[in-house]
Amino acid sequence: MLKIDNNGLIRFFDGELVRIEPWGKNSLRVRATPIGRLDNEARALLDINEEKAEIEILEDCATIKNGNARAEIDKNGKITFYNQRGEKLLEEALRLNPLKTPARFFKGNHLGKYQLTMTFESNPEEKIFGMGQYQQELLNLKGAVLELAHRNSQASVPFYLSSLGYGFLWNLPAIGEAIFGTNLTKFKAESTDVLDYLIIVEDTPAKIVERYMEAVGKPPKMPEYALGLWQSKLRYSTQEELMSVARKYKELGIPLSVIVCDFFHWPHQGDYRFDYDYFPDPLAMTKELAQMGTELMVSVWPTVEKGGESYEEMLEGGMLIKNDRGSFMQMDCVQPAVFYDATNPDARQYVWNKIKKNYYDKGIRLFWLDEAEPEYMTYDFDNHRYYKGHCAEVGNVYPVDYLKGFYEGLIEAGEKEPICLIRCAWAGSAKYGALVWSGDIMPTFEALRCQIRAGLNMAIAGIPWWTTDIGGFDEGDPDDEDYRELVVRWFEYATFLPVLRMHGYRAPYIPAREGATGAGQCFSGGDNELWSYGEDNFQIMKDYVFLRERLRPYLKEIMDVAHKQGTPPTRPLFYDFPTDLKCWEIEDQFMLGNDLLVCPVCYLGKRQREVYLPSGSSWIDAFSGEEIQGGVSIIVDAPIEKIPVFIRKGSELTTELFKGE
């Protein structure tokens, strides 16, 4: 049965209900369920289904049109999507006799819901971008198999942009899988009773991403104080240690936007306060930093330790994540702990009340939400239950709700430009001020190459504010010459990211204080300041800090565009040059705004690299001033102190910005 229902097209057959409806301009939302009724959950989407659809029911099919997007559903229930020119974009893979394979397949599971498989026909020439952050040297995801689940350094943000001219959001937070094969495209959800996806049809990649951001929410304004250098290490273990670093930056005349008080500055996990034995006067600390023009950011973990101040109250109030089997403990770092249930609004409010009293009221407005996946000891996704449902069904929404609690608290407290550094994200995280970083990555050039791809795919997936640990997180010896080169190359690259951030667990390893309690129980790492990597490298990185400062007006401008339009500050070349087919192939260069082409050096010992200059513009070498017509590949010199950067001709930016202090 096909019918029109409240601006939507309905098909009901053999217990399956399918609904196709407009959801924003040039977009169609598709939902289906085997239980005969649809829920009212928007999931990642905002309520923007105000467009009027054109619906026609014919003898053997029906069509629904919303602007550029048109869908046809045939008598067998197969849905095919077209653009405004009648070109086929995406087609469900319904294969009847003799294969008998449905496109939408719900199979009962042991959790009382359904395992869902959604299959589309695949165009082998299609290129796929987005889907979040995966640690691999792939920008184009065609041929990739992706786990739809969060892990430390992996963030599933299930929106992709196709070179065929459409965007696709898999609007389910269930644990699952995406397969972009050459013969089939397939999405799986481990537990659900609904299928939900959105397709956006526009003429350019920029319009697709901007339309998607209208659907899931654009970021608030990036605060101007966040645009300079952020200093962090694992970890400043006392107030005096942290302040001595901030004071040295001040003495050296190096502007410092943010300094970080990392994890285990607290007595117990879940206390959500400083351990006053090690940080005796937080208010005095924030006041002195403010006089230097530096913000203090504090790390917050969602873990709650048995024996801490909050454990019994949160346990009694049902505010902790539950396990179906095995130990109640879910994380073991210094002391065993469980995760608080951020999908529970009461738990979010409880945590924020402590944060406000113990941090915000002491002058701290910048928070680092670590362990946001959350990072279970073992990722047994079928073992955990949340307030919103079983992890297998809703697990990927956890970082959104974790962030939402802080965003709402900051807004209520009067902040106009809330931002939180967070280690994970899902679709829609940006609207809550998510600044995502790429987790505990390795200190290698291979990892650097992976971050370039990961950051660009996060941008396409709707996370415009993204950064990374300069030099990688795990280990790294500041006295090793090869590692020093890696840090310098990474720093040069990070100068052109939304946030420039030093962080890492450096040699030498510093064990916990013997017999200590509270914050003293935690280990630490070696120095990780600009001056920790030798005098020559210090001067190079210092120069890039001042370059970053000179770029502040430009950075502010493109951050404001991200707020107003959802346009990511950093993006692949095809975003700005979609008609240049070569730009769809380039994976190790990117645009920062409309006018800067950035070409990182990401191999040890390399002092030259190949650069492609997109056609349609002339380009000016930012350091030498040489002008080159676009549409060509060139070999450029890249001594250790230089990352190749080109200015688009006609820009207000000039080479004077790149000529030192």
Q: What is the pLDDT of residues 199-237, one digit of tens each?
A: 999 999 999 999 999 999 999 999 999 999 999 999 999
Give me the pLDDT at residue 532, please: 98
Give catalytic status of residue 480 as yes or no.
no
For the chain, what is the mean pLDDT? 97
Helices 345-358, 398-413: axis angle to 10 degrees equals 50
Q: Which tens digits make up the pLDDT trace of 333-357?
A: 999 999 999 999 999 999 999 999 9
Amino acid at 323: N
Give me the pLDDT at residue 661, please: 59
**Domain 2-201 architecture:** Sandwich (2.60)
495's tokens = 């100068």
Give the confidence band of 548 by pLDDT, cuts at 50, 70, 90: very high
Asked whether 173 and 141 are in contact (CB, 8 A), the reply is: no
Give me the pLDDT at residue 327, please: 87
Query: Where exactly are the structural domains of the chain?
Result: 2-201, 224-297+342-369+398-565, 572-658
Give the confidence band of 59 by pLDDT, cuts at 50, 70, 90: confident
Q: Identify the DSSP state of 582.
A: G
Q: Which tens digits make up the pLDDT trace of 13-26?
A: 999 999 999 999 99
Asked whether 235 and 262 are in contact (CB, 8 A), the reply is: yes
Give catalytic status of residue 588 as yes or no.
no
Give the confidence band of 394 by pLDDT, cuts at 50, 70, 90: very high
Exactly one of 373, 393, 529, 621 is catalytic; which is it? Answer: 373
pTM to 2 decimal places:
0.98
Q: What percent of the chain has pLDDT over 70?
A: 100
Q: Which tens digits make up the pLDDT trace of 310-329?
A: 999 999 999 999 999 998 88
Please check whether the two domains, 2-201 and 572-658, share a CATH topology.
Answer: yes
Q: What's the order of all strands across the beta sheet hosting 61-66?
A: 54-57, 61-66, 69-74, 79-82, 88-91
**Which CATH entry fits the domain spanning 572-658: 3.90.1300.10, 2.60.40.1180, 3.40.50.880, 3.40.50.2000?**
2.60.40.1180
CATH number for the domain running over 224-297+342-369+398-565? 3.20.20.80
Tell me the average pLDDT across 255-271.
97
Residue 199's Cα: distance from chain center in Å?
A: 21
Asked whether 163 and 584 are in contact (CB, 8 A), the reply is: yes
Give the helix ranges, DSSP H, for 263-328: 282-292, 311-316
256's tokens = 């410092």
At 120, phi and psi to the nearest 5?
Answer: -120, 155
Tell me the average pLDDT across 176-192.
98
Give the confidence band of 514 by pLDDT, cuts at 50, 70, 90: confident
Give catalytic status of residue 125 as yes or no.
no
Exactly one of 440, 474, 543, 587 is catalytic; which is it? Answer: 440
Exactly one of 190, 370, 371, 375 is catalytic; which is it? Answer: 370
Give me the pLDDT at residue 559, please: 98
Tell me the average pLDDT across 304-314.
96
Q: Which tens digits make up the pLDDT trace of 105-127?
A: 999 998 899 999 999 999 999 99
Tell me the average pLDDT across 589-612.
98
Task: Tally Cβ neighbours within 10 Å of residue 52.
Answer: 8
